[in-house]
Amino acid sequence: MTALKPAAPKSSADARRPKEHYVARGRLAAVVTHLCVIIGVLLSIFPFYWLIVMSTSTTGEIFGYPPKLTFGSSFAENLRNVVSSVDLLQALVNTIIISTASAALVMFFDSLAAFAFAKFDFPGKKPLFILLIATMLVPGSLSLVPSFILMSELGWVGTLQALIVPGAANAFGIFLLRQMAAGSIPDELVESARIDGAGFFTTYWRVGVPLLRGGLAFLGIFTFITAWNDYVWPLIVLVNPERQTLQTALQNLNSLYLTDYGMVMAGALISVVPLIGVFIIGSRHFIANIAAGAIKG
């Protein structure tokens, strides 16, 4: 029976090979990941870039072949045509009022209801929440006729409040903030505020709102963009031309027989730029809250 011989020690070069192999694989994975991210960013940015190109071009240049991918020199002319065709300033002011008011009301009422559903017990809490979630299954188009009849009975047809009040709260926002409140607001903190004599609204404002800042930022951005881009309901209820929103006003740029697509794209660019600013401002609070939660965790 032969005795087992100890294995010969590995050289330092052999010991470094597995480590170098894993390092090389890690670098390759990082390169592939960054390449995929860059491609995704370029694909996401290209539609906006193409919108800018078309807004600076004439209709003939837009439909030319091969497609023109460089900026044109007709933006000033297209912008003058937009201003001369529709009351752009009034439509912009109306849209800002509607979007800002809608976002503020939704953030307030949805966070108030979500805080109550998440941290307080009251009769019928579960059935009410189930009924609330069930409303998310109903298509919004089904409520257009009943909503118009209600606005007509209230005498709000043709007014801005017909676009603001019906959307002052929604099931999606309540559900989103309720789930966040249930996980991010400790019951002990709410109980401590109650022991200190704080009422419901004081507890909501002092405890709930600061801890829901990230969700409120997201909901505010989402609601503002939704209200800004809404087209069907304003088209139905705003019968007064002086109360048109930006989307319904820009629709008037389309002609039955001949459409100046350069002018239309310039108007579309004007409607998109404010949304980018709102997203940049609001996303700072949203991302900062996520980063603070990650560090805390």
The pLDDT value recorded for residue 292 is: 47
- What does the pLDDT read at residue 9? 55
**pLDDT tens, position by position, 55-70:** 888 888 888 888 778 8
What pLDDT, in 10s, does the model give residues 189-213? Answer: 888 888 888 888 899 998 888 888 8
The enclosing H or E element of 208 equals none
The CATH number corresponding to 88-252 among 1.10.3720.10, 1.20.120.1200, 3.40.630.30, 3.10.310.30 equals 1.10.3720.10
**Better-predicted residue by pLDDT, 154 or 12:** 154
The pLDDT of residue 297 is above 50? no
Q: What does the alpha-carbon distance between residue 277 and residue 253 come to, in Å, rounded to a whole number?
A: 25
140-185 pLDDT, tens digit each: 888 888 889 999 999 898 888 999 998 888 999 999 999 989 888 8
Which segment of 45-49, 180-184, 247-251, 292-296 scores lowest on mean pLDDT? 292-296
In the chain, what are the domain boundaries? 88-252
- Where helices occur in the chain by DSSP H, the ranges are 12-55, 59-62, 75-85, 88-119, 125-134, 144-154, 161-164, 171-184, 187-195, 200-203, 209-211, 213-229, 232-237, 246-251, 261-296
